Structure 1
Amino acid sequence: MSYGVQLKRLPGNEDVPLPRKMSLLASGFDIHAAVEGPVVLHPGERMLIPTGFAMSMPAGLEAQIRPRSGLALKHGITSLNTPGTIDADYRGEVKVLLINHGQAPFTIERGERIAQMVFQLVPEIALTEVDELSDTERGGGGFGHTGSK
């Protein structure tokens, strides 16, 4: 099944590529920086990076912004609030919150691939308040409860 997602290139960003898959079976669409000029992200610094596009997707979808593994491995660059959620009713510019966990400054160039966007189905959920919950073997155990080490 295919879902239609509309992309709108924002003015002044005609040179910035729109999201695209980099291989036939990729699940994520690479997204690119729409910074006006080179931006230096220093170790420990975080910055909101524009992408130069907005989008419209149908109800029942969400877009998740995730790190690019190569940037994380080679430079310690990742995205905060991962995965970042873009709701179906959001129409503003997509932006990526990056952080430099590396040991050296990292320069973000215009048009550089900075993150990936993966689309997910969002089921309609009906929350119900109850007085009691069903019992399970695990119960209320959490934060390492299921592992011995």
Structure 2
Amino acid sequence: MTTIKLRWAEGADQSLPPPAYETTGAAGADLRANLPGGAVTLAPGARALISTGLIMAIPQGFEVQVRPRSGLALKHGLTVINSPGTIDSDYRGVVGVILGNTAAEAFTVEHGMRIAQMIVAPVVQAGFDLAERLDETARGAGGFGSTGAA
């Protein structure tokens, strides 16, 4: 098991629980809004950076991906704008979640609310070589929709 070390940012409400897996088979651990100054209301079409109050030490060779919670997306149109957001192993700032409201009604993000889920994933860094020619494939340069899939 990989361990992510956490600490609270200055001014964060330390009484909130840390990220947690809600079921034994969950791939994502829930992140909570840490808004000791009060709730944030997102108008339709609006977006905001919502603090988790957490600073993470992610081991080298891993990343944390931040993704929407499906229930909030389905019921309220709330999503993570840059999904999946990536937190790199060398980042040591406060983790924030960029939430967007795609619904026709305003949505209020309350302090302590589960707002996103985080996935811990391995990272492979590649080398890059410029070449005069690349190998040919059956698909070639066919782009969006070129395979006939809708």
Normalising TM by the smaller chain, what interval? over 0.9
Aligned-residue Cα RMSD (Å) equals 1.1
C-alpha distance after superposition, 1:21-51 (max 9, x if no partner): 1111100010000112121111000000000
- The residue type equivalent to 1:86 in the other structure is I
Give the percent of matched residue pairs that are identical in Structure 1 and Structure 2.
47
- The residue type equivalent to 1:48 in the other structure is L
List alignment gaps of at least 5 residues for structure 2: none
Q: What CA distance in whole angstroms lies between the structure 2 residues aligned with 1:73 and 1:4?
A: 31
- The residue type equivalent to 2:21 in the other structure is K
Aligned length: 148
List alignment gaps of at least 5 residues for structure 1: none
Query: Is the partner of 2:73 in helix, strand or coil?
Result: helix
TM-score, with length taken from structure 1: 0.95
- The residue type equivalent to 1:68 in the other structure is R
Q: What CA distance in whole angstroms lies between the structure 1 residues aligned with 2:149 and 2:122?
A: 34
Query: Is the partner of 1:71 in helix, strand or coil?
Result: helix
Q: What CA distance in whole angstroms lies between the structure 2 residues aligned with 1:34 and 1:15?
A: 10
Q: What CA distance in whole angstroms lies between the structure 2 residues aligned with 1:8 and 1:107?
A: 26
TM-score, with length taken from structure 2: 0.95
Residues 70 and 129 (structure 1 numbering): CA distance in 2 closer, same or farther, change over 3 Å?
Answer: same
C-alpha distance after superposition, 1:84-135 (max 9, x if no partner): 0000000000000000001111111100000000011101311111110000
Query: Is the partner of 1:72 in helix, strand or coil?
Result: helix
Q: What CA distance in whole angstroms lies between the structure 2 residues aligned with 1:148 and 1:51?
A: 39
